[in-house]
Structure 1
Amino acid sequence: MKTIIMIFVLTLTASSIAESNWTPAGEMSAGNSDLVRALAFTDNGIMYASSWGIGIYKSTNRGMNWTFSGLQGKRVTTLSASRNGDVFGLSKTQDFSYIHRTTDNGNTWTDVFTGSFPLNFAGGGEIVFPSDGSIVAAFSITVGPTIGDVSTFVFKSTDSGNNWVQTQVIGAGFAGGMIITDDNRILLGTSLAGVVYSTNSGGNFFSYTHFPPIFIKTILKADPEIIYVSDAYGLNRSTDNGLTFTDIGSHSNGVSLRTACVNRNGDLFIAMDDRNVYYSDNLGDSWELINQGLPAGSYFNVLISADGKIYGGTNNRGVMIYDTPTNINSGTEITGHYNLFQNYPNPFNPVTIIKYELRITNDVKIKVYDILGTEVSTLINEKQEAGSYEVEFDGSRFAGGVYFYRIDSGEFSQTKRMMLIK
């Protein structure tokens, strides 16, 4: 399988998140040496993990304990939970590709699709759930005499996964990430054609001109209108629902990205081929290394965000858990001397409140910046006594979008993100 080169010059920052550690989840198979390729978390609190060549495990207590769920011996590459709690998985053998489904909280699994694809060495795929109630699955399938001859086969179900119809074969290599945008388009990453899109719930896909025909590793959906796409050159960010993108990677030291996820606050987590894991709370403008607690020789195949934590499926240690600190879960940053709180409401239109605390008397500056880093407003610029404060930001004269507010006081500085909606 091809390797994508993610090229980053990571601007590392000091933050309270560094105090957290990766910790092992409960044991799956004996010895907890499972290779985990896929993870899914349902709204009713059940977590599923695919142990490569062993089957599916499930946990009802956030990974503390696991029980075997089914699909004995299957190599499941993808797990995805629907809005009603049904979970779908993709797997393959050399000659067949499968869609599996559980509708009873993982007690039983059913093969709802079996496709005959002789000598298929590709594997992998994606599943999404459009707002019209349909289900769209994209398989990577070998179509030629060599392993590199791969196309993406798209299948669709309109009856909760009972029956599937092939809608298109995209001669574009491997599937690499699939999301649904705020305006109900499906964006699908490919290894040969960049990003393709559908406006009819997977009925047809078309070329997406915002990206050249290069290898797409993953696509992530964050805050309203914010999309990340990783390609062969780095990480690209859109703040207008995919209409335009900004390259937020760099072009000097090449490192392969393995997987990435976004948590409920829009914070980014990326795992690299050099076994390093990074975190960003400012849309990828700067990064922090968060390797504490990772076993030597382990790397992540998949990352997901659920229940205020990051769960990672490893190559040899089952599932690892990163318990994100208070500033990520609730939007409150706690330092040794100061507190900077997430603005409220957020998103907002047009007024929001920013609260902060000073533990000592000092000069204070609070400024607001747009997505390009241009200063648009100074909210505070004065000396203040120790205590609790709040300041109002009125965005009525600004365009809707992502803004950042930053506090500087003595040796303390912190930046947070807010969303103005119009």
Structure 2
Amino acid sequence: MSLVFATDSNNTVYCGTHLGLFKTTDNGNNWFQSNSFQDTAISSILIDAANNIFVGTGYYDNGNGVYYSSDGGNNWIHLGLEGKVVLSLAFDSNRTLYAGTKQDGLFKTANMGQTWIQHQSGIEGVEVFRLKINSQGHILVGSENEGVYSSTDGGETFTQIGLPISHIQNIDFSPDKNFIFASTPSGVQRYNRTTEIWENKGLSEVEAVSVSPSGELYAATFTDGIYRSSNNGDSWEFISNDVIERYNFKAITDSILIDAAYPNLRISTNAGSSWNTTSIRSSPFRSAILYEKNTETIFIHGFLNQSKIFYTSNYGQSFSEILAPTSISSKNGLAINSLNDLFYSSTQGDNQFYGIYHLNYPYQNWIKLYSGITYSIKIDYDNIIYASVNNGVISSEDNGNNWEIIFNENASRAFAQDLNIDDNILFIATNSYGLYELQIPTNIMEENNLLLSYQLYQNYPNPFNPFTKIKFSVPKSEIVQIKVYDILGKEIKTILKEFKQAGNYEVELDASNLPSGIYFYRMISGDYSETKKMILLR
């Protein structure tokens, strides 16, 4: 914690530390500790015109409210708020004493602690780290992580003003993309992209937010359980709190939920009505969850004897596993491209293991693409990789062979916890400076087209049943055909025959009417042709 200081009219200086309260009467040459607060954190000191001293106790925990001394700190009277961590104190012009707490909002007393009135409308879960009241009675609350709030009605209600939220764990979008939801220590923050206004929607210590396909908003807190909202966070329904701690959460479908909790990861197949506990162990450094919609495959970073990545295509009925390249990654440290290749970012560990790793489908050998601490990774529809590293956000257009810095604002003091993409905008959620938007230049697409060559990619998934996707690239505008043949070379299906502009494309094969077996697919475009093998396995 930071040191806090206050000086009375006799030039006696009081200092609050995590070990108690100290004072000096000779400009710091000698310090004397108060016997009343040994090993008790003092987070705030307020001295009035009569040299009465008020202190707030606690910091992370072990708070015991507010104390008062009228004799220079020799004797103390407890004014209440027992068990509360009090981070800030202030008087208004009527000598009403206000106390800002760690998680319980703002309290005020007009009778020296005989009765306290609690106010937290608009600041639910906010750490009231700093507190100022002007001569008109307007209250300003400064939070260490969530910006500045204002009240003009004596604390009855607060509105966030000026500075945006700062510490964000992850973000997600409403289905219509009008709202952005952010998980923060002081709750779920909602940003309206039309009005450009942030709102605190309640809860506290939120580790992850996730929106289901139908728009159900889930908020997973560290120790207080999982909550669900059907109205974009305006009200919450409690779902579950059967674990000690949780580190990450994802709504895969409207019914499939993944809870990276301690000690073991859990899966619900009925929207949280019941949970199945797996043998996969979760931790703050092994809790990444990734869902690949095309193959309906869930990837989870966990621990079972060793650090591994587990994946399932049957919503957790069975798992396959891959040995992870390092033991530690972030909750946003997994990504997958359109070829079903897996990417992993290493956050902590030995220096030689920091970085970004790539695993070609069908998942055999990891290749290191980048050296350095990496906090999060994201891949867009054109297979451009974005990653948060120590010196900002980097990107690669050639599968990690070359990297360039595309964002480095406040990079020396903050890093991006999460990256997300919507409509050519890269959203960068940082651990100290809030949420940034970065417009992805449209000329990236144009440049990519200039570098295109004829390319037919391996289908994914492979083996498949009965649907699979085939991606291909053409460098110029012309007729493109993709045909399917059986093992004897007999043409059995044409899945594409149309004019295409230069670019990257993807088609889907429906093999519902075909028997199991080995098949071949062939791309023909101008003088170019290429054939690849695929397996239909029922």
Q: Does the 8 A contact of 1:48 with 1:58 survive in 2?
A: yes
Instruction: Say whether 1:176 aligns with 2:287.
Output: yes
**Residues matched between the structures, number:** 311
Secondary structure of 2:190's counterpart equals strand
- Aligned pairs for 1:340-355 (under 5 A) are 340=450, 353-355=474-476
1:42 to 169, 174, 194: 174
CA distance in 2, matches of 1:61, 1:172: 34
CA distance in 2, matches of 1:126, 1:226: 23
Q: CA deviation at 1:264?
A: 2.6
Secondary structure of 2:450's counterpart equals strand
Q: CA deviation at 1:307?
A: 2.0
CA distance in 1, matches of 2:363, 2:411: 40
In the alignment, which residue of structure 1 is the partner of 2:336? 221
Q: CA deviation at 1:195?
A: 0.9
Secondary structure of 1:34's counterpart equals coil
CA distance in 2, matches of 1:125, 1:349: 32
Instruction: Say whether 1:86 aligns with 2:216.
Output: yes
Identify which of structures 1 and 2 has the higher relative contact order when contacts are C-alpha pairs closer than 8 Å and 6+ apart: 1
Q: Does the 8 A contact of 1:57 with 1:66 survive in 2?
A: no
Counterpart of 1:61, as a letter, is R
Q: Specify whether residues 280 and 400 from structure 1 end up closer, same or farther in structure 2 by C-alpha distance, changes over 3 A only.
A: farther
Q: CA deviation at 1:352?
A: 5.3
In the alignment, which residue of structure 1 is the partner of 2:207? 77
In the alignment, which residue of structure 2 is the partner of 1:386? none
CA distance in 2, matches of 1:56, 1:105: 10
CA distance in 2, matches of 1:59, 1:394: 51
Secondary structure of 1:396's counterpart equals strand
CA distance in 2, matches of 1:54, 1:266: 35
CA distance in 2, matches of 1:344, 1:40: 36
Which protein has the larger Cα radius of gyration, Structure 1 or Structure 2?
2
Secondary structure of 1:332's counterpart equals helix
Q: CA deviation at 1:100?
A: 1.8
The one-character-per-residue Cα deviations of 1:282-312 (angstroms, maximum 9, x if unpaired) are 1111100123544652321111111211111
Secondary structure of 1:124's counterpart equals strand
Counterpart of 1:58, as a letter, is R
Counterpart of 2:289, as a letter, is M
In the alignment, which residue of structure 2 is the partner of 1:396? 529
Q: Specify whether residues 344 and 44 from structure 1 end up closer, same or farther in structure 2 by C-alpha distance, changes over 3 A only.
A: farther
In the alignment, which residue of structure 2 is the partner of 1:3? none
Q: Does the 8 A contact of 1:179 with 1:188 survive in 2?
A: yes
1:68 to 199, 206, 222: 199
Counterpart of 1:184, as a letter, is E
2:369 to 249, 258, 266: 249
2:190 to 58, 67, 85: 58
CA distance in 2, matches of 1:178, 1:283: 22
Q: Which runs of 5+ in 2 are unaligned?
A: 1-146, 149-159, 458-468, 478-501, 504-524
In the alignment, which residue of structure 1 is the partner of 2:447? 333
CA distance in 1, matches of 2:186, 2:324: 38
In the alignment, which residue of structure 1 is the partner of 2:299? 187
CA distance in 2, matches of 1:239, 1:90: 32
Q: Does the 8 A contact of 2:298 with 2:312 survive in 1?
A: yes
Q: CA deviation at 1:244?
A: 3.1
CA distance in 2, matches of 1:189, 1:349: 27
Q: Does the 8 A contact of 1:229 with 1:236 survive in 2?
A: yes
- Aligned pairs for 1:16-415 (under 5 A) are 30-50=162-182, 52-61=184-193, 65-68=196-199, 70-72=201-203, 74-93=204-223, 96=224, 98-117=225-244, 120=245, 123-129=246-252, 134-141=255-262, 151-158=263-270, 161-171=271-281, 173-174=283-284, 175-181=286-292, 182-190=294-302, 192-206=306-320, 208-211=321-324, 214-217=327-330, 218-231=333-346, 233=353, 234-240=355-361, 242-249=362-369, 255-272=372-389, 274-294=390-410, 297-328=413-444, 331-333=445-447, 340=450, 353-355=474-476, 396-399=529-532
Counterpart of 1:189, as a letter, is H
In the alignment, which residue of structure 1 is the partner of 2:491? none
CA distance in 2, matches of 1:78, 1:236: 24
CA distance in 2, matches of 1:71, 1:238: 40
CA distance in 1, matches of 2:472, 2:256: 39
Q: Specify whether residues 205 and 354 from structure 1 end up closer, same or farther in structure 2 by C-alpha distance, changes over 3 A only.
A: closer
Aligned-CA RMSD value: 3.7
Q: Does the 8 A contact of 1:128 with 1:180 survive in 2?
A: no
Q: Specify whether residues 394 and 169 from structure 1 end up closer, same or farther in structure 2 by C-alpha distance, changes over 3 A only.
A: farther
Q: Does the 8 A contact of 2:329 with 2:375 survive in 1?
A: no
CA distance in 2, matches of 1:344, 1:101: 47
Secondary structure of 1:36's counterpart equals coil
Q: CA deviation at 1:345?
A: 11
Q: Which runs of 5+ in 1 are unaligned?
A: 1-25, 142-150, 357-388, 402-422
